[in-house]
Homo-oligomer: A and B are copies of this chain.
Amino acid sequence: MKTRLWLMAGVAVAVAFAYGCKPKGAQTAISGDAASKVYVAPGQHDEFYNIVSGGFNGQMSVMGLPSGRVLKILPVFSVHPENGWGFSEETKPMLNTSHGFVPWDDLHHIAISTTNAEHDARWAFGNANNTPRIARVDLTSFKTVEIIEIPNSGGNHSSPFITENTEYVVAGTRFSVPTGNDNDRDVGIDTYKDNFRGTISFISVDKDHGDMDIAFQLEAPPFNFDLARAGKKKSHGWFFFSTYNTEMAHTLLEVNASQKDKDFIMAVNWKKAEEYIAAGKGKKVPVKYAHNKWDESTHTATSTIRTEVLSLDPRELKDIVYFIPCPKSPHGTDTDPTGEYIIGSGKLAAIIPVFSFTKMLAAIEKQDFEGNIDGMPVLKYESVLHGEVAKPGLGPLHTEFDGKGFAYTSMFVSSEIVKWNIETLEVVDRVPTYYSVGHLSIPGGPTGKPHGKYMVAYNKITKDRYLPTGPELAHSAQLYDISGDKMQLLLDFPTIGEPHYAEAFPASLIKDKQVKFYKLEENNHPHVLKGINDARVERDGNKVHIYLTSIRSNFRPDNIEGIKVGDEVYFHMTNLEQDWDVPHGLAIKGANTAELLVMPGETATLKWVPDRTGVFPFYCTDFCSALHQEMQGYLRVSPAGSNTPLKFSTGIAE
C-alpha cells in the first residue's frame, strides 16, 4: 500500500512535467517582413544546407534554409523503395548487421564533420538508435557510404557526436544491457545492477578518406546515456555525456528513474584513454559487428563482420572518467563555442547549471571529490559550477549558441525558447514555440564558429499548425531570426519523419564540390557496360545475367526470351548518360521487388526470381524524355524445364 501511494505521488509529479502545456498568451504577431525573409525566389538558392535527422524514418532530410524546403530524402538506415536502397544487389550489404539484414532504424542525431572546431562539411554522420550503428554520408554525392555497427550496446542514443577535428565519433548506450557471449546475456532482468553494463564507444575517422573503425570502448556503469558533446578548443581532449536513470531502475522508469535530485554529466578524458592504449592497457574482447562500406568506384557495397573490440575499464584505468553532478535527469549536455562552458539541461530541473571547464580541471587537480562510482571520482557540484540560469522555464532539453555570447535553451514543458547570456546567466529574451520544442539548431551552432542568423526549433507536437491530415500529423519546425536582440518567428515548416537534431552550414562550403554524374570511364562495376554494343544476356546454370544499357529513350536489349520459372534473373543496368539529372529507372511489371533508380554513369542490379510464366514488360520509371513512355522492353518467362531458347534483341539487328 505504501508503495502504491508513493507511486501515485511520483506519477503526479511526472504528469505535471510530462504533458507539455500550450504557451500562455496570444499568437506572436508576425511582422510584415517575415515573408520576404524566408522567400527564396525561383532561380535563387537557399543560404544554408540543413541536414535533418529523420527519427523514426531512419533517413536524413536535406532542407534549405531559410525556405524550409525539403531538397532530398537521403536513405541511410531504412529501405527506400523509391530508389532501390536496400533492394538493389549493390545496396543490400549496406543494411546488413551482425544478425542479418535490418530494414529500418531510428536516426536521431546529425554531426557534420569539423576541422579546428569549424564545419568542413565533408561528411554527415548519423546514429541508428535501434540496432546500434553509425552512418557516414559523403556530402559531395549525398550518399551513405559507410555504416558501422556498435557491439555491446543496447541502443545508441548519445551519438554520433564528434571531436573538433573529427578524430572520433562517439556512441554511448542509451539502455544498459547484459553484454558478453550468448549465455552471459540470458540473465534475469531483476539482476540489472549486477549484470547490466553501459559502454561508450569511440569510433575513429580516417582523416583522408573518412573510414570509420571502433578505436576503443569504455566500460560504464549501468546508467542510461542520453546525449553528449565534445570539448573544443581549450577543452579539446574531453567528451561530456549526460546520464539519467542513475537510480539503475529497470521497471516503470517514468517514476523510478526520476527519484534522485541529481544525475551526472560524465566527463571523459579521451586523450588519457589514448595514452593507456599506447601503453598496451586495452583488452581485446570478442564481439561481432558489421562494417559496411560503399565503393564509389565499383558502385557496390561490401559488408564484413568484425570480431573483436578494444575495451578499456575506467574502474581500473584511472583519470579517464569523472562524474559531474547535474540536476535532474539531464537530457542535453552542450559545450559553448569557446569550450569553457558545459551546459546541462535537466528535463526535470528548475534551473540550468553551467559548468566551467577550468574549474573542473582545478577540482580534479585538487581532488575536490564528493565520492566515487566504482572508483571513478564524483566531483563536487559547487566546485565545478560557473553558475545557474534562474527561472528559465519548465523542462529544459537542449542548448545551442550564436557565437555572440548567448545561449538558447529549448523548454519542452513550457513550450518556449529562452535566450540567455553565457557569462552573466541572465535571461534576455523568450519566445513561445508551437508546441513542446525538442532540439534547437543554429547553423554552426554546436561548433566553435556559429552563424547566428537563424535558429530552427524542432517541435514534438503539431496539432493545429497545418491543415489537418487525419490522426497522423507531420512533425513541425519553426524558423526564427536571431540576428537581432529579440528572436523573431518567421516560418512554420513541416518535416519528414521525426527530426530530432539537425545541423546546418553555409551552402558555399560544398555547393561547388557536388558530383553531378559519374564518369562512365571511371565506372569499375564488375558488370558495367561501356556502350550499347555490349548489351547481352548470358545464362550460367539457373542464373541469368541481363547486361542492359539505358540511354534516352531505349533499353538494350529490349526483347528477352528463354527465361524459366525459378531462374535467378539479374538485371545489370548501366545508365550510359553523361549529363546532370538524367537518371533512368528500371521496373519489371508485376515483379515482387522494388525499382532501380540509376544515376548517369552508374551500374545497378535488380534480382528477380520469376514465379510464373508470361511476358513481362519492363520500363523506365523516371520520365526521362519526350519518348520516355516508349522506353520499355519485354521479358518472356517460360515454364521450368521448357525448351524456349535464350534469345534477346536490341531492335537494331531485325
Contacts and interface: CB of A to CB of B under 8 A. Distances in A.
Interface stretch (A419-427, A440-448, A554-562): A554-562
A68 interface: yes
Given A42-B492, A514-B469, A553-B254, A78 B82 contact: yes
Given A141-B471, A438-B623, A626-B412, A255 B651 contact: yes
A519 to B, nearest CB: 11
A104 interface: yes
Interface string A637-654: 111001010000111101
Nearest to A460: B623
Nearest to A252: B651
Contacts of A141: 470-471
A108 B497 CA distance: 23
Interface string A242-266: 0011000011111111100000000
A376 interface: no
A580 B142 CA distance: 36
A276 interface: no
Interface in A18-51: 18-20, 27-28, 30, 34-36, 38-43, 45-46, 49
Contacts of A82: 54, 56-58, 78, 497
Nearest to A177: B615
A142 B593 contact: no
Interface residues of A, number: 182
A81 B83 contact: no
The prevalent SS among residues of A at the interface is: loop
A141 to B, nearest CB: 4
A428 interface: no
B634 A599 contact: no
Interface stretch (A179-187, A385-393, A539-547): A179-187
Contacts of A35: 35-36, 39, 41
Interface in A127-149: 130-132, 140-143
A186 B626 contact: no
A289 to B, nearest CB: 12
A627 B255 CA distance: 9
A56 B185 contact: no
B600 A471 contact: yes
Given A494-B71, A613-B185, A434 B43 contact: yes
Contacts of A623: 55, 438, 460, 498, 500
Given A103-B592, A467-B507, A630 B258 contact: yes
Contacts of A460: 623-624
Nearest to A54: B82
A487 to B, nearest CB: 13
A317 interface: no
Contacts of A196: 615
A371 interface: no
Given A4-B652, A82-B497, A253 B625 contact: no
A306 B516 CA distance: 48
Nearest to A635: B189
A363 interface: no
Interface stretch (A94-102, A109-117, A212-220, A333-341): A94-102
Q: Which 6 A-B pairs have the closest CB atoms?
A: A252-B651, A35-B39, A104-B594, A142-B470, A253-B630, A185-B614
